[in-house]
Structure 1
């Protein structure tokens, strides 16, 4: 039996997951911080693309980077609960845990670039919704 997503998989979803994995593997973040980090990075990039500015992220980043203290910028923008709601529950926990996350983590581990996998995976998964 093929596990299908409950909703179309977006580039945003893949980018948030890619950065969640990066948060754990490269930045040494806890799983919960990595969820907040992944979602916050995706929100920042989406805001830049669609609105041309950095939204609420700008000051939080400067404070955290320049002073090396305070609340990490991603915690001011997102939470693990939001990641669960906006990414995992939206596409379905079963699909997320058994297909989505595993395939993205595999691509990440193989050293692939986000840009080279985002559309091929997304298109394949979204075709399942049409069947």
Structure 2
């Protein structure tokens, strides 16, 4: 017996979105700090992107090169209104976040998969250290298929 549903009435095929490049801890950390800047510090979207990338750069520099950057307490001073200096603007920009994080993994993947997933984990109260590796595993496996 022929199906009463015509082919045109079926849902379109769902395309599995996968990243264009491997997802790094750096990517997850930058996004995590972008969300923190938006939700906890009250930053604008552009400032949050720059802040997220700048924090990731500072931590990476400390880890890989032993550099200490002199911005300890600078974010708190800004949030409390004791300074107008946005230290993160010296290290990163929203455009650079888009280039090094969003475009690297693919805008579609970032907007539809990566960012919503990280935001959900953030909203659930997870700690970055809990999710930084596990969240990347499945996405990075997709690149090998």
Same fold (TM over 0.5): yes
Find out whether 1:28 has 2:42 as its counterpart.
Answer: yes
Query: Structure 2: which 5+ residue stretches go unaligned?
Result: 1-14
Question: In the alignment, which residue of structure 1 is the partner of 2:31?
Answer: 17
Question: In the alignment, which residue of structure 2 is the partner of 1:77?
Answer: 91
Relative to its length, the structure with more helix (as a share) is 1
Question: In the alignment, which residue of structure 1 is the partner of 2:6?
Answer: none
- TM-score (norm. length: structure 2): 0.83
Question: In the alignment, which residue of structure 2 is the partner of 1:124?
Answer: 138
Pick which of 18-27 and 116-125 moved more: 116-125
- Bigger Rg over Cα: 2
SS in 2 for 1:48: helix
Could you tell me whether the CA contact under 8 Å between 1:61 and 1:73 is conserved in 2? no
Residues paired across the two proteins, number: 128
- TM-score (norm. length: structure 1): 0.91
RMSD: 1.8
Query: Structure 1: which 5+ residue stretches go unaligned?
Result: none
The separation in 2 between residues aligned to 1:79 and 1:30, in whole angstroms, is 12
Question: In the alignment, which residue of structure 2 is the partner of 1:115?
Answer: 129
